[in-house]
Amino acid sequence: MNAYDYIEDYLNEELSGAALGVFEHALQNDPELRQAVERHRDMLGRLHTLRLREQVKKNLVSPRSGAAMLAVVNRRFLAAAAASVLLAAATYFWLTLPPGTESPAVADHIATPPDSSSVQPAPLAEESPVQIDSGQQTPAQPRSNGAAHADDPGARIAFVEAVRGLEKIDYIVMGETRKDSLLESTLNKAIHFLKTEKPSSAIPLLESVLAQNNTLYQDDAEWLLSLAKLGRDTKAGKAALEAIVQNPAHGYRRRAISLLGKLE
Amino acid sequence: MARILDYFLDRSSNKTCHQYPHAQALVAALQREEGAAIRCLSSKISGSIYQIGKSFRLMDDDIEELHCDCIMIFMDKIRTGKYEYTGNEPATYVIEIAKRRVYHYTRKASQSATNDLDPRFDRVDEPEWDTLEQLEMLQRLLAQLNENCQKLIRIKYLEERKDKDVIELKLTQYSTVNALKNHRALCMKKLVELAAQFRHSTGYILP
C-alpha cells in the first residue's frame, strides 16, 4: 500500500478497518507523509471555502436589487418633494393675491351669476307694496330704514344671500362665552335686523358699536355695516365693501371680495 | 436611506428570515451553510453594502463581489471557529467586515498607484483578506490542471457529489468508484504540488 494514494480517503474519513490502521501507522513514522497530509488538508479547506463562495453567490440577494429599490425610494422621494413644492407655490400664490383679485376658480364662480329662476329672494319686509300709478306698476320708494334695490335686483340677491348666512355672534374670551356685553347684544340686535331685512334699523346700531373703537368687535361691525348699507343702497354698500377689501388684515376681506364679485 | 432600503429588502425576504427567529438561530443555520440563511443574511445587509460601496465609488460588480466576499468571510469564520456569537446581530458584524474590506481595497489601490509599500505587510492585521487572495490563487492553480482533473475536483469538492452517484449518473469517464478515486487522488496531488511550487516561487503562503 502506498500511503500517499490514500491521503484523500483519510481526510474524507473514507478509510476504515485495517487500511486506516496501516495509514495511521505510516503517518506516525513518516514526517513527509504528515506534511503531505497537512497540505492536502489545507487544500481541502480552501476548496471548501471556494465551494462556500459559490454557494453564497448563488444565494445572494443582489445589491443591484438594492440599487433598484434605492432608485424606487429616490423616485418616491422626488415625487413627494415635487408635490410639496407645488403645494407650497400654490399656497404662496393664494396668500399673496393682490387685493381685489381672485383665483381662477373663484373668478369663474363670480363670473357666473346665480340663476335668477333658482334664486328668488322673498319680498323685503320693509319694501312698500306696489303702487298703481298711471296704469303702470312702479316699485314703491323705500322707507327711510328699509331696503332698496328696486333698480338693482343683482344687489338685492347678493344682500339676501349674504344676510341669510348670518348667525348670532358669541364672543369667547379666555375660554368663556361672554353674554353680558352691551356691544355684543347691540351687534346681535343688528344681525336680527339684517336677517329680517331691516338694514336701515341695523345701521345706527352698528355705527354705535364702531364708535366705541373696540378692536374686538370692529371687523364684525364693519362687515355687518357694509351689508346693511348694501341692503339699503348698492353704491354705499359697495364703498363699504371696498373699504374692507383695502384692509389686508380684515377678517372679512375674502367675503367682501366675493360679494363685490357678485355685485359686478 | 440604507436603513430604509434594508427595511424594504428585509420585508421582502421575511419569508426567508422568518425561520430564524433570533440571531443565534441564523448563525447556527449559517454554520450548516443553509441557502435560506445566506439569503436572509444577504437581504439584511444588501442595502448597507450598496451604500458603503457607493460611498467608496465602487462599481456595481465590485459591490456585488464585496457583498459575496463579506458573507463568505463571515461563514468561513464561523466554520473555523473564529467567530464567537456574543448576542449581537450577525448582519452588523458582516457590515463591519464590509467596511474594513472596502477600506483595505481602497488603501491597496492607492498603494498600487504609488507602489511604495509591499502589500503583504498590510495583510498581517487583516488575516481574512488572505482567504480571498488565496481563493484567487487557488482558482488560477485549478485552471492549470487539465480539464479532466478540474472536472473531478469540481464534482467532488465544489458540487459535493458522492462518488457512487457520479458513477451511476456517468458524469465522468470512469466506470468504478475506485478508478474515480485513484484519478482524483492524482489530480489532488498535482494541485498540491502546484501550490507548493507557487509558494516556493513567490514566498506566498498557499497550501
Strand partners for A133: A136
Contacts of B1 in chain A (CB under 8 A): 70, 73
- Nearest-angstrom CA–CA distance, A169 and B28: 74
Chains A–B, number of C-beta pairs less than 8 Å apart: 128
Chain B residues with CB under 8 Å of A9 CB are 181, 185
Evaluate whether B67 touches B101 at the Cβ level (below 8 Å).
no
Cβ within 8 Å, pair A50-B68: no
Angle at B146 between CA B140 and CA B152, to 5 degrees: 95
Cβ of B185 under 8 Å from any chain A Cβ? yes
* Whole-angstrom distance, CA of residue A238 vs CA of residue B192: 104
Find chain A residues with C-beta within 8 A of B196's C-beta: 39
Collapsing DSSP to helix, strand or coil, A97 comes out as coil
pLDDT at B155 over 90: yes
Q: Pick the closest to residue B52 from B102, B10, B92 (CA basis).
A: B102
Q: Give the pLDDT confidence of B84-102 residue by residue, as tens digits.
A: 888 888 999 999 888 888 8
Q: What tens digit of pLDDT does each residue of B17-62 get?
A: 888 888 889 999 999 989 899 999 998 898 889 888 888 888 888 8
Give me the pLDDT at residue A132, please: 37
B79 interfacial to chain A (CB closer than 8 Å): yes
User: Which of B47, B135, B185 lies closest to A46 in CB terms?
Assistant: B135
| DSSP code of residue A151 | T
* pLDDT given for residue B147 in this prediction: 93
Question: Which residue from A249, A243, A212 is spatially nearest to A225, judged by alpha carbons?
Answer: A243
Specify the range with the lowest mean pLDDT, choosing from B20-29, B98-107, B152-161: B98-107
Find out whether A233 and A204 touch, Cβ atoms under 8 Å.
Answer: no
Return per-residue pLDDT of chain A as tens, 264 residues. 577 888 888 888 888 888 889 889 998 999 989 988 998 998 888 898 888 888 888 888 765 555 545 555 566 677 888 889 899 988 887 777 665 554 444 444 433 344 444 444 444 444 333 333 444 444 444 444 455 554 577 777 888 888 877 777 766 655 555 555 677 888 888 888 888 888 888 888 888 888 888 888 888 889 899 988 888 888 888 899 899 988 888 888 888 888 888 887
Q: Write down the ipTM of this complex.
A: 0.78
CA B191 vs CA A30, A49, A173, B197: distances in Å: 21, 16, 94, 10
Q: A28 burial class (0-12, 13-18, 19+ CB within 10 angstroms)? A: exposed
